[in-house]
Amino acid sequence: MLLDELETEGLITNFNKLQETRSKHTPKEVHIWDETLRDGEQTPGTTLLIDEKIEIAKLMDEMGVKVIVVGFPAVSESEREVVRRIAAEGFSQASLAAPARALRSDIDLSVQAGAEEVPVFIATSNLHLKYKLKMEWQEILDRVTDSVEYAKSHGVKVDFISEDTSRTSIDRTVEVFKTAVEAGADRLIMTDTVGFLRPESMRYLVSQVRGRLGKESKRKVPLGIHCHNDFGLATANTLAAIEEGVTTPHVCVAGFGERAGNAPLEEVVMALEILYNIPTGIKTERIHELAKLTSLYFAILLPIHKAIIGENAFSHAAGIHVHGILAHQLCYEPIPPESVGRQTSFYLGKFTGSQMVRTKLEQEGIQASDEQVQRIVCQVKETHRLRDKREMLQQLQQAQELLRETRLGLKEDEFWGIVRAVTGKQPSKC
């Protein structure tokens, strides 16, 4: 790759490759587990049609995603039909998963829908036990044993997910994981359900759980991690977990998902491939294709400044940066944009310099003197300066309002209309 050539020639120093910066527990490869069609679809205001889910799942399979969670059968009959339809398509690389609460009835629905893999989950923090589940700890352990054994009896691969692991004591996390392993779980997944950990805290948690399971559990089981982005640390925490031995990161395209979303597929994959030199099996040149398709079907625009897939990720405005890019692409780009299906682009405006103008003219076979180039530069800057920003802001506000209108969730008045139709009553505020 181009980066390797630069290192060999001594043109860049890559601290990422220093042994002192690498953990001895970092795995040699990872397997990407994608949650876009389940957790990602829980992004407020969006929903996916069956054919849209199939198209996204097919593309993920072609790209090398190892596990695709395609839906949650216990939600509704329509969701079960989605899972059945996708499972019937046939996939060459990916294992199709459908999660289930630690309940036999949920597991039945996932198996009947055709899932090859059933991630069984239950919350383990005292907060969830007291207020949401209203269960004692021994009840949780008994439920885990019964549900994992029951799922295994159906001949599917079974993952055990501890919800809210990052706010559960290490003693209890180890205990519930040992219970799941003894019941037959094939993989254990820790979760930072509300994105509450720092990367150092994540390293500590994973190292403690990994170390104790290695000593206390009879069977070695691979570990996974599921991080949310409430503090903007989902990618950092996912990578920290991998540094401590996790081999299955959970991701969503563009970081879609509940609240602030999940660890973005594109960030985790490219960080592993480039910064860690860990193969993911993903055809990275199709990452932008996947992001655009998902954004379209989610009816959500990709943030313009989003790493890897945002409109500006490989765009340049400042004359100094443009000059550097034209001299060598990697002067101001960390990776060749083609490696993720992108292209370098230049933004014309107040920061435009003569080098950009001259290059664009030469590309079109237009000859111009230094004086003419300078005049063009001046006029470009002046044209940009005279743009009416008030008009632009008005257009932006209109576009934002239109986007809000296109969100597919029910409005308050629609909800209360349904309530009136069913109960014949209406809230006092109406």
166 to each of 128, 240, 243, 390, 429, how far by Cα in Å?
A: 12, 13, 17, 46, 40
The reported pLDDT for the residue numbered 394 is 86
Distance in angstroms (rounded) separating the CA atoms of residues 166 and 227: 10
Mean pLDDT of the chain: 94
Give percent of the chain above pLDDT 90: 77
Q: What separation in angstroms does the CA of 249 have from each of 2, 35, 308?
A: 27, 10, 18
Tell which phi-psi region holds residue 331, choosing left (phi > 0), alpha (psi between -120 and 50) or beta: alpha
The CATH superfamily holding the domain 22-298 is: Aldolase class I (3.20.20.70)
Distance, in Å, from the CA atom of 249 to the CA atom of 280, rounded to the nearest integer, reads 10
Report which of 195, 205, 206, 208 is spatially closest to residue 236, judged by C-alpha positions: 195
Arithmetic mean of pLDDT, 4-32? 92
CB-CB contact of 142 with 114 (8 Å): no
Task: Specify the residue for token string 């805290």.
Answer: 201
C-alpha distance across the termini of the chain, in Å: 64
From CA 315, how far away is CA 332, in angstroms rounded? Answer: 10
Chain segment 116-175, per-residue pLDDT in tens: 999 999 999 999 999 999 999 999 999 999 999 999 999 999 999 999 999 999 999 999
For the cut 90, the answer to whether the pLDDT of residue 381 exceeds it is no
Summarize the confidence of residues 344-359 as an average pLDDT: 88
Mean of pLDDT values over 30-51: 94
364-395 per-residue burial string, b: 16 or more CB within 10 A, e: under 16: eeeeeeeeebeebbeebbeeeeeeeeeeeeee
What pLDDT sits at residue 410? Answer: 76
Q: What percent of the chain has pLDDT over 70?
A: 99
Residue whose tokens read 């401590």: 244
- Report domain extents, the chain: 22-298, 315-385, 389-423
Q: Are strands 117-123 and 67-69 parallel, antiparallel or unpaired?
A: unpaired
Bridge partners (DSSP) of residue 191 are 226
Per-residue confidence band for 430, with pLDDT thresholds at 50, 70 and 90 = low
Confidence at residue 54, expressed as pLDDT on a 0 to 100 scale: 96
**Identity at 239, one-letter amino acid code:** L
Q: Let me know how long the chain is.
A: 430
Rounded Cα–Cα distance for residues 174 and 330 (Å): 45
Instruction: Look at residues 97, 43, 115, 92 and name the one whose alpha carbon lies nearest to residue 283.
Output: 92
